[in-house]
């Protein structure tokens, strides 16, 4: 087993429609406005950018993201990641009753040297850190869609 390899899948239920959710997600430059752990987004091109993440644990993850799929009809966004995390991430927004079922999927290998050295003993903490980040993202997204702008901690 590669202890630096992670697969994540999160399901968010949102009261807004899929189109509204997709419109928020297709603007990664605005993620820091509603998702506290997305500390910085610097566009480097039309479909590329550098993102800095930091959750509860005291380290930053810096990745370069390149959009690989932007499908507004199916409401799917995908990006390839390089840097401290190498792999891919995907958002899929679909209808669910009067709201949205948003699926987050990610498969990455951690390249950050400190995290690789601590891969085995640190894995439970890294997983918990990711869970906290996703929970804060869900809360921020709900606030953003409700017109509150986000940054609900």
Rounded to two decimals, what is the model's pTM?
A: 0.93
- pLDDT above 60: residue 150: no
Q: How far is CA 13 from the centre of its chain?
A: 15
pLDDT tens column, 41-100:
999 999 999 999 999 999 999 999 999 999 999 999 999 999 999 999 999 999 999 999
- Which token pair is 117? 């050295």
Please compute the mean of the pLDDT values over residues 123-149 and round it to a whole number: 94
Gap between the Cα atoms of 26 and 152, Å rounded: 20
Domains of the chain: 5-145 (3.30.530.20)
């Amino acid at each position: 087993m590669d202890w630096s390899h992670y697969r994540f899948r999160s399901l968010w239920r949102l009261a807004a429609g899929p189109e509204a959710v997709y419109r928020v997600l297709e603007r990664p430059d605005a993620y820091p406005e509603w998702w506290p752990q997305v500390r910085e987004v610097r566009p480097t091109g039309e479909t590329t950018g550098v993102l800095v993440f930091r959750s509860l644990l005291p380290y930053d993850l810096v990745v370069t993201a390149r959009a690989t799929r932007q499908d507004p009809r199916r409401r799917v966004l995908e990006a390839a990641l390089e840097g401290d995390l190498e792999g891919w991430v995907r958002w899929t927004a679909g209808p669910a009753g009067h709201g949205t079922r948003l699926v987050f999927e990610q498969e990455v290998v951690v390249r950050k040297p400190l995290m690789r050295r601590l891969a085995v003993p640190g894995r439970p903490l890294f997983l918990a850190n990711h869970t906290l980040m996703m929970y804060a993202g869900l809360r921020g997204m709900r606030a953003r869609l409700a017109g509150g702008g986000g940054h609900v901690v």
